[in-house]
Chains A and B, each alone.
Chain A
Amino acid sequence: MSAILKNESGTGAQFAREAINQSLEASDKVRFLRDMVRIRNFEERSNKAYSQGRIGGFLHLYIGQESVAVSAASLLGPNDHMITAYRDHGHALAVGMSMNECMAELYGKATGCSKGKGGSMHYFAPDKNFWGGHGIVGGQTPLGLGIAFALKYQGKTGCCLCFLGDGAVNQGAFHESLNLASLWDIPVIYVIENNGYSMGTSQERSSAYPDFLAKRAEGYNMAWDAFNGWDVYELRAGFHRAMQRAHNESRPTIVEVATYRYRGHSVADANSKVYRTKEEIEQHENLFDPITRWKNTLLEEGVITEEDYRQLNREALQEAEASAQFAEQSPWPAEADITADVYHEVDHQTESGLTGKHFFND
């Protein structure tokens, strides 16, 4: 098992030497940096739009955790899938969804990835093996199991990376899923992105067992692992191990990643600096910021220059700004769209969709 090196400043150099990282081209490494920078710029711009009243409901920002989704997405093969909870912008952009469709979804516009029907918590891209975006804490954990079950049923060598937060580990559906995954040899990987707080409740106040949350796997005869969430090399090495287990042995794993969100549980979290200290937040931003650390790694390796980094940032800023303009100028869904996409058979006007009444307003 890896130990969580929280509050220690390891460079992850040992992980850089692993084969899965040795095989990286310079262009791959730059792409990871660009993806992280794009996620952060997208979210900063969405935060601005939220404060301007352009976005309704919730906005759960992933800022500080970008390396986790980007590293995981970088390993996906054609039969590898991802599903996550409501803090989903990072995962969506990491698998290749566009800023435009994601920003427009936040604005509730017809051009959004879910046509304005899902909002911030419900991004989907089945063509990119990305299955959401789920709003109920822990509710996606049986779905991730089902995706991996389907792969096995279909005889495909693949896996499903099912992300959850540290707050989801105490939900019953998660434990039922763990038991089924191990009992039936399902190639699912549960990735606990442990950012320390389930909304405003710290791990000490929510989980009885004081050690790694992933260690609960032992109760289900399942492998587990835990590693730092701010170094791309370490994350890729860790995810790769679990994915190999899924691909080669069709066995599940719980992976716990130590990470940190700089912002509140959601933008509307008025207490985000009450249940934790300002110093704690600053410490993470200053010492463990995944973008800064990856940038420094690439500078040290001579893969990029400071100017390259500034350029990446400028481009991401422009892309995010353009996505806000796109969202702003996009049309609202039509009123008739309210009752579209409810039933597949109705949408496709099949025989089944045409018999009987499906909607009851008149």
Chain B
Amino acid sequence: MSRQIDYRTAIREALAEEIERDPNVFIIGEEVAQYNGAYKVTQGLWAKYGDKRVIDAPISEAGFIGMGVGASMLGLRPVMELMFWSFAYVAFDQMINNAATVRYMSGGLLHCPIVVRGPANGGTNVGATHSHTPENLFGNMPGLKVVCPATAYDAKGLMKTAIRDNDPVYVMENTKLYGELWDVPEGEYTIPLGVADVKRSGSDLTLVAHGRAVITCLKAAELLEAEHDIKAEVVDLRSIRPLDEETVLESVRKTHRVVVVEENKPFCGVGAQITAMIQEKAFDDLDAPVARVSAIDAPAIYSPRLEEVQLPRPMDVVKKALSIC
């Protein structure tokens, strides 16, 4: 049976269901318990599950995330909230040197079943230090998995899979999506990592995106069809690493034209990886160069009027699409 819930509620349901399913799952983070979460993702969970399963941490990201990595080596499954993914930068050593490599350096004797989650987005006028989109940074680290859900349905299914996964999974959400309503079925379901989703089918052009850029692309696709009679297909990567290359390539083989869209910065961004992959594996299928739309390449600007311009808008995607169609 279908119903509509918002993105944050979908994540909360995933967390609650996994806490109930597995006694090793617990939530830890700043303001996640008694304050009910800075963005209310964990609202009500502390009241329901208590101090053992929902833990307020002091502002010590390196300390509590490193603690979670250590606890996971003994079989616990911490789900650690970063109030902003930008705060990962003070916990980098724990999140990379320890979480990403401890399995490798032990020759496979250990594994690290952790989830780190929280919002990773610009567009909220909080300045450069709170607006990072590090999916490309963490996706660059073998040993890590990175997921960027765009819809409530995906957020719930991917979160449950992430918690059950035996490797470190970093889930990057988006504060601008938290309130968006989507159809989400009642009851249990999961979505595998590494499987992209065609969010809209089309025959003339492929738009590849992840996270909120998927929503931007869906709006752009409507404009392209209404105003230019161009039928765009929207491929949502959902998972950055592991990556579903085949779904992207299948779409490219059908449409022969691609725009890769991201809120990531362009230099070595996720779009760079996708673009290189397409030119190498679908070169003969292309009728135009692979085009990219990324955030404007500067630290996130505060000015509300200009930050709106800095991130890809539907009109930017339309303009880029028209340049290759």
Contacts and interface: CB of A to CB of B under 8 A. Distances in A.
Interface residues of B, number: 53
B70 A147 contact: yes
Contacts of A141: 66
Contact of A139 (B58, B97, B142, B167): B97
A180 B67 CA distance: 9
A183 to B, nearest CB: 7
A344 B57 CA distance: 28
Contact of A118 (B65, B105, B165): B105
A342 B142 contact: yes
A153 interface: yes
Nearest to A142: B66
Contacts of A122: 105-106
Interface string A322-362: 00000000000000000111111101101110011111100
Given A124-B110, A136-B93, A139-B97, A341 B242 contact: no
A238 interface: no
Nearest to A149: B71
Given A146-B69, A150-B70, A357 B244 contact: yes
Contact of A150 (B57, B75, B93, B245): B75
A172 B71 contact: no
B66 A341 contact: no
Looking at A122, A143, A172, A347, the one whose CB has the most chain B CB atoms below 10 A away is A143
A357 B93 contact: no
Contacts of B63: 142, 145, 173, 176-177, 179-180
B320 to A, nearest CB: 25
Contacts of B108: 115, 340-341, 344, 347
Contacts of B105: 114, 117-118, 122, 124, 132-133
A153 B71 contact: yes
A143 B69 contact: yes
Looking at B60, B102, B239, B242, the one whose CB has the most chain A CB atoms below 10 A away is B242
Interface of A: 83, 112-118, 122, 124-126, 131-136, 139, 141-147, 149-151, 153-154, 172-173, 176-177, 179-180, 183, 339-345, 347-348, 350-352, 355-360
11 contacts: A116-B107, A124-B107, A125-B109, A136-B97, A146-B69, A149-B71, A177-B63, A341-B104, A344-B111, A344-B113, A357-B242
